[in-house]
Amino acid sequence: MNIESEINKELFVPQNERLLVALEVQRRQKKRRSFLPTSSREDYTTFICVSVTNTTPQQLLITKVKQFAGSPLFTRRSQWTVEQLKQVNGINPNKDTPELDLVFDNTVDQWVASSSPEKCIFIQVLYRACQTHWEGKAGSLVNLGKSLQARRKSMAPPRQTEFINCQSKLTRDASSMNLVIYRCKAFLGRVKKLMVARQKGPLRQTGSRGAQRTVGNVVQRMTVALGERGGRLTRAEDRTVRLMHKAQQIADTAHKQVKHNGWIMQ
């Protein structure tokens, strides 16, 4: 069972929630806590989790979870609704990086993810979840407006979470293939870390170092191949968007010319 499954089983299932994604993070700027002993300040792992409730109406939640060193248990530390999440800042819109900022109503968290692919998966899943959530909210408001015409003017649409400095391939509709690629990259990254950790330990079998070196080479080649595939996919998506915009411009120009010549009855 991986970490995400363990967190879901221990913390979210008992609360009638479903975990969508969990991201291991560290702060870019450490908060000072001088009242804590030095050995206790960084002796934990932090995860940012996105979950949905199984109740109706469904809620989308962002939860900070910690696992302290030497303990198999996970602990909820903070939780926000998506309505309190004002902004998701991907930091760099041009390339994969592990940094991201989450801006809430009452705080700003600056994080570094365990890897760039893991962060990209997190943003993709969170973006899709937000879109689904806000679309459901909009539908509910429309239905409510039809039944309560007198209060229609007083109902304002909910403020949606803003995604800035995120690569377009993470927030486009055609991002399913990108998500698969990033999941593969993240998996290979975990395998590589595991091999490095094992190399640091005692070797119990003759030839195990050679086997580890072979696996490491395979992981590296697959990572490069996935990166090239992701780059080609992104370039193809960019070309498609440009062609769509160009076709729309041509159609608009033709329509204006037809109107100008009086071929369309006003």
Per-10-residue mean pLDDT of the chain, 266 residues long, equals 91 96 90 51 88 94 95 93 96 94 95 94 94 83 54 61 91 62 70 69 51 54 58 62 69 72 55
105 within domain boundaries: yes
- For residue 175, the model assigns a pLDDT of 55
Backbone dihedral angles phi then psi of residue 32, each to the nearest 5 degrees = -80, 130
- For residue 206, the model assigns a pLDDT of 45
238 within domain boundaries: no
- For residue 124, the model assigns a pLDDT of 92
CATH number, residue 53: 2.30.29.90
- For residue 256, the model assigns a pLDDT of 74
Q: State the alpha helices, DSSP H only, in the chain.
A: 3-7, 116-147, 168-171, 176-200, 208-260
pTM score over 0.75:
no
- For residue 151, the model assigns a pLDDT of 53
135 within domain boundaries: yes
215 within domain boundaries: no
266 within domain boundaries: no
Q: In what order do the strands lie in the sheet with 75-81?
A: 75-81, 60-68, 44-53, 17-27, 108-113, 99-104, 85-89, 162-164
Tokens of 166: 């995120």
Full domain range(s) for residue 130: 3-28+43-140+158-174
Q: What is the rounded CA–CA span in Å between residue 85 and residue 139?
A: 21
118 within domain boundaries: yes
72 within domain boundaries: yes
49 within domain boundaries: yes
Q: How many domains does the chain have?
A: 1
Helix 208-260 and helix 176-200, axial crossing angle in degrees, nearest 10: 160
Q: What is the rounded CA–CA span in Å between residue 96 and residue 208?
A: 33
